[in-house]
C-alpha cells in the first residue's frame, strides 16, 4: 500500500487572491480581469455576496484595483462603488484628524510616525483610490505613550467604545479597565474612537447596514464615521526588552523616517526597510498565532516589492542582527516570490540562514504560513504498492 498527499487545485477566493495579488497594484484589461474574477465562481458573486466575501480577507482594495475595468467591480451599480465612497470618506476623515493630532503632539515635542496603512497609500500606490481602512496607526516613543493617549482624550477620543450592528456601545468600566491592562498586540493600546457625523454618506445607509455593521454607526438613518487611532509604542509582536539582540529595538524602527504627503496632508512615516520587516513579521504573526486571514498586508508588501522599494542588503542585515525576524522574512518573501510573482533575490533568502526545524523553536519559527493563507485542501491518494 502507498499513500500520497497533494494539494488540490486552488479555487474560489484563494484562487482569486493568487491571481489578483500577482498583478496588484496594476490594472488588468477587461478581458483578463474577467478571467481573474471567474476564479470565484458564479455562486459567490451573486446577490450581495461579493463585498462581504472580499472584506473577509481584506481583498476588496486589491480586487477593485486589479479588476476595476469590469462593471461588476468598477461600475456604478457594483457594491464595491459605495464601499469605495465610504473608504474615501474614511481616509479623508482620518487625514483631517491626523493633522490635528500631529499639531497637538508637535506642540508638546512628541514625534509621531505612521507605520502602516496610510503609509502605503501615500508612498507605494498613491495613484489608486484610498483603500478601506478602519483606523490610523500611530507610532510614538515608549516615553511619549501616556502623553499621546492623554492628548487624544483631550481631543474628544475615548477608549471604551465599540460598534455592534451599527450601534455604538460603551464598555462597562471594569471591562474597559481589564482590556486596557491586557497584553498589547505590537505594543498597541486600546483603540481611541470619536464619532463624526458624515451626512454625505446617508444615501448609503442601507448598504452600510448590510456590509459594515462593526465599522460605521447609524443613528436614525444618519451616518457617523468612527475616527479611530491605534497608538503603538513598539513594533515587535512580543515586547522583549531583556534580549535586545533577539528583536528590533526602538532605535531600529525610528531609523531613517521619511516625510510623505497624502491627499494634502503631510506626515512622517517609517523607512521602507522598517516597513518591509514590520509588515512581514506582522503578517506572519497574524496568520500563524492569531489565525487572521487578512491578506491586505500581503498586497502592501507585493506593491512595495514591485515598486523597487525593498533594500535587500539592508533587510538581510537587520534580520541577521535580530534573529526573530528571520523566519517571517524567509517564509513571507519566499511566498511572494514563489506564489505571487514578485522578484525576490535568492541570495537574500539564503542570507537569512533560517535554521533547520529541529533547532529553530527559539527563533519563533511556527512553520510555513502558505497553507493557511491559501486554505489549501489536501487530497489523499491510496493505492497498491508495487516495488
**pLDDT value for 365:** 75
**pLDDT value for 49:** 81
**pLDDT value for 376:** 77
Residues 6+ apart with CB under 8 A from 128: 25, 61, 65, 121
31-35, long-range: CB < 8 A, 24+ apart: 33/66, 33/67, 33/68, 33/69, 33/70, 33/73, 34/70
**pLDDT value for 10:** 77
Q: What is the mean pLDDT of the chain?
A: 89
271: cell is 523607512
28: cell is 488588468
**pLDDT value for 190:** 81
**pLDDT value for 185:** 77
**pLDDT value for 45:** 55
**pLDDT value for 293:** 81
Could you read off the pLDDT of 262-312 as tens digits, one per residue? 999 999 999 999 999 999 999 999 999 888 889 999 999 999 999 999 999
**From the first residue on, what is the mean pLDDT of each consecutive set of 10 residues in the chain (387 residues)?**
60 91 97 93 64 92 96 91 97 98 98 96 97 96 95 96 95 80 75 96 96 95 97 84 75 95 97 97 92 92 98 96 91 96 96 66 74 76 59
Please tell me the pTM assigned to this model.
0.91
Measured in residues, the chain has a length of 387
Residue 25: cis peptide before it, omega within 30 degrees of 0:
yes
**pLDDT value for 125:** 97
**pLDDT value for 48:** 61
Could you read off the pLDDT of 29-70 as tens digits, one per residue? 999 999 999 988 765 555 568 899 999 999 999 999 999 999
**pLDDT value for 110:** 98
Amino acid at each position: 500500500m502507498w499513500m500520497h498527499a497533494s494539494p488540490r487545485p486552488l479555487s474560489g477566493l484563494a484562487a482569486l487572491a493568487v491571481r489578483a495579488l500577482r498583478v496588484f497594484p496594476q490594472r488588468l484589461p477587461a478581458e483578463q480581469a474577467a478571467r481573474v474574477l471567474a476564479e470565484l465562481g458564479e455562486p459567490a458573486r451573486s446577490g450581495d455576496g461579493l463585498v462581504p466575501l472580499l472584506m473577509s480577507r481584506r481583498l476588496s482594495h486589491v480586487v477593485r484595483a486589479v479588476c476595476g475595468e469590469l462593471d461588476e467591480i468598477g461600475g456604478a451599480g457594483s457594491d464595491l462603488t459605495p464601499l469605495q465612497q465610504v473608504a474615501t470618506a474614511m481616509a479623508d476623515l482620518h487625514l483631517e484628524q491626523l493633522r490635528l493630532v500631529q499639531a497637538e503632539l508637535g506642540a508638546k515635542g512628541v514625534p509621531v510616525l505612521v507605520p502602516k496603512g496610510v503609509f502605503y497609500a501615500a508612498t507605494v500606490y498613491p495613484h489608486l483610490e484610498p483603500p478601506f481602512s478602519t483606523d490610523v496607526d500611530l507610532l510614538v516613543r515608549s516615553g511619549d505613550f501616556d502623553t499621546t493617549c492623554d492628548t487624544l482624550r483631550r481631543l474628544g477620543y475615548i477608549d471604551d467604545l465599540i460598534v455592534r450592528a451599527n450601534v455604538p456601545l460603551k464598555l462597562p468600566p471594569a471591562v474597559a479597565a481589564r482590556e486596557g491592562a491586557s497584553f498589547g498586540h505590537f505594543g498597541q493600546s486600546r483603540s481611541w474612537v470619536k464619532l463624526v457625523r458624515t451626512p454625505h454618506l446617508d444615501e448609503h445607509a442601507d448598504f452600510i447596514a448590510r456590509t459594515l455593521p462593526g465599522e460605521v454607526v447609524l443613528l436614525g438613518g444618519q451616518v457617523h464615521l468612527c475616527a479611530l487611532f491605534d497608538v503603538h509604542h513598539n513594533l515587535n509582536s512580543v515586547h522583549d526588552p531583556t534580549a535586545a539582540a533577539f528583536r528590533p529595538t526602538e532605535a531600529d524602527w525610528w531609523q531613517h523616517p521619511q516625510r510623505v504627503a497624502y491627499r494634502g496632508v503631510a506626515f512622517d512615516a517609517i523607512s521602507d526597510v522598517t516597513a518591509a520587516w514590520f509588515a512581514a513579521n506582522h503578517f506572519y504573526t497574524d496568520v500563524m498565532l492569531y489565525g487572521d486571514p487578512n491578506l491586505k498586508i500581503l498586497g502592501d508588501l507585493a506593491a512595495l516589492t514591485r515598486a523597487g522599494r525593498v533594500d535587500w542588503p539592508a533587510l538581510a542585515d537587520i534580520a541577521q542582527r535580530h534573529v526573530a525576524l528571520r523566519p517571517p522574512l524567509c517564509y513571507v518573501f519566499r511566498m511572494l516570490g514563489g506564489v505571487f510573482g514578485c522578484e525576490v533575490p535568492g541570495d537574500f533568502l539564503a542570507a537569512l540562514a533560517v535554521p533547520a526545524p529541529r533547532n529553530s523553536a527559539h527563533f519563533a519559527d511556527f512553520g510555513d504560513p502558505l497553507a493557511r493563507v491559501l486554505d489549501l485542501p489536501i487530497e489523499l491518494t491510496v493505492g497498491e504498492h508495487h516495488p
